[in-house]
Amino acid sequence: MTPTRDMDDISSDGRILGLLAFLAFPVALLAPKGMAVLFGLGVVLVLVSGLLRGQKIRLSISPGLILCFALAVLSLASALWSMTPEASFKKGLVLLLVLFGGLSLSQSVRRLNIAGRRLFDVGMIAGGILGFLIIAVEILFESPIVALLWQIRGRTPEHHYHLIQTINQGAAVSAIFLLLWTLALWRIKGATWASIGFAVFAMALVFCQADSHKIALALGLVAALVVYFGNKIVLKGLAVLFIVSTLSAPWSVSVMPDPLQAGSGAAVLPNSSQHRLVIWQATVDHIFQRPWLGSGFDTARAFYNKQQKVKHYYGGKGEDTIWVNNFEPIPLHPHNGVLQVWLELGVIGALLLSGGILFVVRNINSLENRFQQAMVLGSFVTGLVIFAISYGAWQSWWMATIWLLLAFGSPAFEEKTK
């Protein structure tokens, strides 16, 4: 195949990936679970496009590929000791497909030529602008788009559903997306426009309801600033901090204040945060029962059912009670991806997760441009914080989102393929 044909082929991938980047943020805002569909469609289109051009499906051997393969093997093998063997094996197959698809997308983005990368960046920038306009319209005009979507689904809302009340999942994706979008804008339009775009985008996110994405973005920005004004030793120090935090997570939760005790220091936290602490403490109890191999992949939902709800008295029982809720000790998942890995895959899973974190940080550390290094790390830290305090690790839409955003950060590493 001639060099000209190669460039045309990679530019063709640029159109597909640019469309994917354009759609990601609006889909995340209006239909977060649609991210799984978008991810699957993107993987299929890229693979089919390559096959039609006579390209073989192959992935570059790297530590990242080995870690992903090991995680998939462990997840499938856990069916042998799982509480729910069939469910673990089936979900393990899903994970294997997601990992293959995510690695394929990331590799395709890194392979883009100059024209293809520009198409990709333009698609990402345009999608971000469209997403910002959606947020603005929903906030300023009492959610006409969300109300319309409800009506299309045959559900007539009794009142307006403001984006700030319904956008939690989309806001989490937006927080991770923001720094990568700023980086794309910087590559196309320069520092001035990137700064303006970031400021406007960040202000829009302030009006969204959930606090977790704001905390995550704030920590991501702190990490980005520390790395930008520091040096590579600082980045290595952060890598050590992330790994130690991952491997010590169960013991760290054990020493946190118990919101169910009178006079607990956790009383100053929002109710949702107090409930998370209770869930994490219940999760840790189960982790210590099977610490080496865990209870089996995707078994968090199997520990309790709807008939096993427990009434929790926050602040203590009787006169000390501040508020009460009634939930399963672990409702579907621990709302902490790190603890879920520990719970289901044990210390081996935690080591693989730590290896994945180290692999990503080492790649970021290899970037020569300080601004790109800071932006990619900031986005990674934002995602890592959300992973550790919010969703189920193996929710299809969340796995798809993580891999899409990893692919969106891949253009920063394109120089490594030259």
Residue 141: the pLDDT is 74
Q: Which two tokens stand for residue 253?
A: 């939760």
Q: How far apart are CA 250 and CA 239, in angstroms?
A: 19
Least confident of 137-141, 282-286, 357-361, 376-380: 137-141
pLDDT band at 92 (very low <50, low <70, confident <90, very high): very high
Report how many domains make up the chain.
2
166 confidence band (pLDDT: 50, 70, 90): low
Residue 77 DSSP SS3: helix
pLDDT score at 167? 61
Cα–Cα distance for residue pair 35/22, rounded to 1 Å: 12
What's the mean pLDDT in 87-107?
94
Residues 358 and 396 both lie in one domain? yes
pLDDT at 150: 67
- Residue 224, sorted as left (phi over 0), alpha (psi -120 to 50) or beta, turns out to be alpha
Q: H helices within 142-211, ranges in order?
A: 144-152, 163-166, 168-189, 191-206
- Tokens standing for residue 3: 């060099």
Q: Which of 185, 208, 231 is the last residue of a domain?
A: 208
pLDDT value of residue 160 = 46
Q: In terms of domains, do 234 and 189 share one? A: no
Averaged pLDDT, 112-138: 89
- Confirm if 267 and 314 have CB atoms less than 8 A apart: yes
Q: Which residues of 388-410 are buried (b: 16+ CB within 10 A; e: fewer)?
A: bbbbbbbbbbbbbbbbbbbbbbb
- Based on the fold, state whether residues 222 and 367 are members of the same structural domain: yes
| 43/63 same-domain check | no
When mean pLDDT is compared over 9-18, 104-113, 139-148, the highest value belongs to 104-113
Q: For residue 157, what pLDDT band results from cuts at 50, 70 and 90?
A: low
Identity at 294, one-letter amino acid code: G
149 and 14, same structural domain? yes
Q: Are residues 7 and 155 both part of a single domain?
A: yes
- Examine the domain organization and report whether 12 and 94 are in the same domain: no
CA distance 191 to 181: 13
Same domain for 361 and 236: yes
Q: How far apart are CA 78 and CA 296, in angstroms?
A: 5
Backbone torsions φ then ψ of 203, nearest 5 degrees: -65, -35
Q: Where among 192, 208, 224 does a domain terminate?
A: 208
Is pLDDT above 50 for 3?
A: no
User: Do 33 and 140 reside in the same domain of the chain?
Assistant: yes
Inform me whether the pLDDT recorded for 163 exceeds 80: no
Mean pLDDT of 95-110: 92
Same domain? For 74 and 198 the reply is: no
pLDDT of residue 155: 63
Structure tokens, 181: 């979008």
Mean pLDDT of the chain: 87
Pair 288, 306 in one domain: yes
What is the residue type of 380? F
Tens-place pLDDT, residues 52-65: 877 777 777 888 89
> Is the distance from CB of 176 to CB of 168 less than 8 angstroms?
no
Judged by average pLDDT, the poorest of 202-216, 220-234, 252-266, 330-344 is 202-216
**Residue 161 pLDDT level (bands cut at 50, 70, 90):** very low
Q: How confident is the model at residue 6 (pLDDT cuts 50, 70, 90)?
A: very low
The pTM assigned to this predicted structure is 0.91
Q: How confident is the model at residue 358 (pLDDT cuts 50, 70, 90)?
A: very high
For 368-379, what is each residue's pLDDT tens digit? Answer: 889 999 999 999
Per-residue pLDDT at 417 exceeds 50: no
Domain end: 182, 208, 234, which one?
Answer: 208
If asked whether residues 164 and 301 sit together in one domain, one would say no
Tens of pLDDT, residues 63-91: 889 999 999 999 999 999 999 999 999 99
Which of these, 5, 25, 3, lies nearest to 408 by C-alpha position? Answer: 25
Range of the domain at 88: 59-111+211-418
- pLDDT-derived band at 29 (thresholds 50, 70, 90) equals confident
Q: How far apart are CA 230 and CA 236, in angstroms?
A: 11
Range scoring the smallest mean pLDDT among 235-239, 274-278, 297-301, 376-380: 235-239
